[in-house]
Amino acid sequence: IIGLIFWLVSLSSFVLVNNFVGPWPEELIDAIPEPTCLLVHYIGGMLFAGGIILTTCMEQLVVSTKDTAVLKFWFQRVPILDCSIVLPGLTLAMVSGVFSTVHRYGSLAIAPMYIKMVFYTLAAFAAWWGVTDLSTQPKATTALEGWAAARKELGEECEENNELPDVVHLRKISNIVSCFFVVALYAIMTLKPGGFH
C-alpha cells in the first residue's frame, strides 16, 4: 500500500507540475523526439488497457471453475499482475502522453479539452479502482479461504455451500466498470472532443 501511495503521489505531482508550473523536466522532454514519446505512449496504453481487460476476462474464467486451488492461486496473483503490467503501463502512457502534449502544444495547461478529459477520466478510474478493486482483493482472498474450508468440511460436491462469496460477484461488477473506463479513455483519445488544434 505504501508503494502504491508513493506511486500515486509521484505521478499526480508530475502531472500537476506540468499543468500549473510548466514543462518538467524540460531537458528530458526536449531530448526525446515526439515520435518516440508517441510510441511509448501507445505501448503503455496497450499494457494498461490490455492488463485491465485481460485480468477481467481471466478472473471470470477462474471464478467459473469454482476450483479452490485455482481461485486461491488467482487472487494471490492479481496484485502482482497489477503491479507488473497495469501500473507500469499507466505510468508509461501518462508520462509519455505529457511529453507528447508538451511537444505538440507547448504546455499541458494550454492543451485541448480532450487531453484534460483524459486526466479527469483517469482520476475517476483511480477512485473507482481504489474503492472497488484494490479494497476487495484481500476481502475476496479471505472470503474464498473460508468458502474453501467450508466446502472441504462439507465435501467438495456439497450443493449447500457451492455459491461463491458475494465479494467475488461484486468484483465482477467492479471489473466490468473498469473496462468501461478503458473504453471511455480510448473513445476520448480517438474522437478528440474539444478540438484537434
How much is the pTM? 0.90
**For the segment 175-195, what is each residue's pLDDT rounded down to a tens digit?**
999 999 999 999 999 999 987
Task: Bin 164: left if φ > 0, else alpha if -120 < ψ < 50, else beta.
Answer: beta
Element (H, E) at 46: helix 34-65
Q: Which pLDDT belongs to residue 116?
A: 93
For residue 151, what pLDDT is reported?
82
- pLDDT (tens digit per residue) in 43-74: 999 999 999 999 999 999 999 998 988 998 99
